[in-house]
Structure 1
Amino acid sequence: MKMNWGTGMVLALVGFIAFIMFFVIKMNIDKKYEFDLVTEDYYEQELKVQGNMEKEQKGNSLTQNIRYKQTTEGILITFPDSLNVSEITGKVFLYRPSDKQFDFETPISLSDQNMLIPDSRLLGGRWNLIIDWEYDGNDYRFKREIRY
């Protein structure tokens, strides 16, 4: 059978469309290509950006800001030494950009300047650590990207 240029173009076009459709279907079905949004209420969070930046600047203007250290037990968060720990309130939020099912939030509960996020709650990889806290009527925010 002899093939002319028109038949060749149609076969090439059909092959190309089949190739593209294969990858589209594979990306929609395969779970390893599934990515979640950072937050479900993205636009609502976007409206709070200016206030969050002001809280971060207030935290950075303290003589001593929050510090964190990765230990074998987990992540050790240390609040400023000059503050009365009984007056510190807020929450610690850790989220994984790659998988929202591992995100968690913990209220701040301190007996001394340190708070431990246990190793059992953390998987290896990238985490975003956000601490929203209040002391003496002022709101502060500490935000870092960490690799655990």
Structure 2
Amino acid sequence: MKINWGTAIVISFIGFISFILFFVIRMSMDNRANHDLVTEEYYKAELEYQNEIDAAANAANKGNLSIKRTSQGLVLTFPTYYSTEKIKGKVSLYRPSNKHLDFDLALNLSNAHLLIPDKRLLDGRWDIKISWEYEGEAYLQKESIIY
């Protein structure tokens, strides 16, 4: 059977459309292409953003924490003028590449240091958010580190 040029164009269009549909369906079903929002309640978190800006300004004015990597893990050191008994808050560690590695730690300090153990942190990028309250005033420090 001889195929004329009109039939060849129709067959090539059908082949091209099938090729594109195959990749669209494959990518929509693939879990590697499944990207989530950073937080589930994104709009609620956006409304509370001004509180974060104020808390970050408080932390910048009163002195930031120091974050150092040691052989035992990550050490957060508060400035010495803070009374450690009055500090309440939490440390959130966010892993951009895998949300299953995210975790939070409560700030219950007996001295000016908090150690995050090395076994909890995998190599790679971590976003650290330290929010604390001291004498009724909110503080916030955010940093991105490569561990």
Residues 35-82 of structure 1: per-residue CA shift (max 9 Å, x gap): 2321111111111111111111111111x2111012222211111111
**Partner residue of 1:82?**
81
**Structure 1 residues 85 and 18 mapped into 2: Cα distance closer, same or farther (>3 Å)?**
same
TM-score, length basis structure 1: 0.90
1:43-54 aligned at under 5 Å gives the runs: 43-54=43-54
Partner SS, residue 2 of structure 1: coil
1:50-129 aligned at under 5 Å gives the runs: 50-62=50-62, 64-129=63-128
Q: Report % sequence identity.
A: 46
| Equivalenced residues, count | 147
Structure 1 counterpart of 2:72, which letter? E
Q: Could you tell me how far apart the structure 2 residues matched to 1:53 and 1:5 are?
A: 66
Structure 1 counterpart of 2:82, which letter? L
1:128-143 aligned at under 5 Å gives the runs: 128-143=127-142
- The RMSD of aligned alpha carbons is 1.5
Partner SS, residue 81 of structure 2: coil
Q: Could you tell me how far apart the structure 1 residues matched to 2:118 and 2:18 are?
A: 47
**Structure 1 residues 78 and 68 mapped into 2: Cα distance closer, same or farther (>3 Å)?**
same
CA contact (8 A) 1:87 1:135 kept: yes
CA contact (8 A) 1:55 1:141 kept: yes
Structure 1, unpaired ranges of 5+: none
TM-score, length basis structure 2: 0.91
**Partner residue of 2:21?**
21
Q: CA deviation at 1:94?
A: 0.7
Residues 120-146 of structure 1: per-residue CA shift (max 9 Å, x gap): 111222211001100011000000111
Q: CA deviation at 1:34?
A: 2.7
Structure 2, unpaired ranges of 5+: none
